[in-house]
Amino acid sequence: MDMLFVLLFAGLAFTLSASAGLGGSLIMVPALALLLGAKEGIALAALLLAANNVSKTWFYRQTVPWRQASLLLAMTMFGTFIGSALLVAAPEALVDAAIVLCLVSAFALEQRKVSRVRQGLAPVLALASGATSGFSGTSGPLKGIAIRSLDLDRMHLVGAASVISLAGDAIKSAVFAHAQLLDERSLTIALAAVPLMIGASYLGRSINQTIGERAFAVLFWTVICGYAVRLAIV
């Protein structure tokens, strides 16, 4: 039953991520933390999202702006390694609090309509997004703001987001596997989700031009409310 729920949330996360370029972890992390606990949920989410980003990068391979995104890619990878190492050593309660803090911060910045930053701040935001993603499983709006500062069109923005997310999630998965937060069941779930990844990447690319911000906000805050209920009960 847990695997069915994991695959259900994975399908939603993969479709959103392939459509908007970002946002998969905002569904996947709270959902899997609800089912498996914070650390195991973040670790499995990283593995699934890394595999999904392979599919996304393939579908968007013609619109990946390698030159423009290279610095953000490097800074994200460095920040992710630091954050992932911190998560492995952190108490479970601290990880729970970090997830809630990142998600509440995302909402606050969204309400203030923070949509542009100076290009000089983009590498700093990429470093911060990698660190918060490695520790809490989600980078909130930081990665999106950093990538938007590159002034890319929608298709190239998704291409950049796909390859940057792939690098970060791959690093997280390697750190978590070394810390034994991933096991044979994790690999089984990842293999079972491969058809979902391919289908969602195709569907997401098809609707890339039509997805609305309102729909994204509804999905995002529905999942956050569910995770908040879990913390309140525990």
pLDDT tens readout for residues 173-192: 888 888 888 888 888 888 88
User: pLDDT-based confidence at 109, cuts 50/70/90?
Assistant: low
Query: Which token pair is 127?
Result: 């470093």
Going by C-alpha positions, the residue among 121, 158, 125, 123 that lies closest to residue 139 is 125
Q: Provide the Cα torsion 51, 18, 125, 84; round to 10°.
A: -20
Query: Are the CB atoms for 15 and 204 separated by under 8 Å?
Result: yes
Place of tokens 């291409």: 159
Q: What's the DSSP call for residue 180? A: T
**Whether the predicted pLDDT of 227 surpasses 50:** no
d(CA 52, CA 15): 10
Taken in order 100, 106, 109, 113, is the CA torsion positive or negative? negative
Orientation angle between helical segments 213-233 and 92-111, nearest 10 degrees: 150
Place of tokens 């959902």: 31
Sketch the domain layout of the chain as residue ranges: 2-233
Query: Which token pair is 228?
Result: 């908040």
Query: Are the CB atoms for 224 and 28 separated by under 8 Å?
Result: no
**Whether the predicted pLDDT of 129 surpasses 50:** yes
Q: Name the maximum alpha-carbon separation found in the chain.
A: 47
pTM of the complete model beyond 0.75: no
* Integer angstrom CA distances of residue 7 from 16, 28, 182, 200, 229: 14, 10, 17, 12, 21
Query: Which token pair is 229?
Result: 């209920």
Q: What is the pLDDT of residues 50-59, one digit of tens each?
A: 898 898 899 8
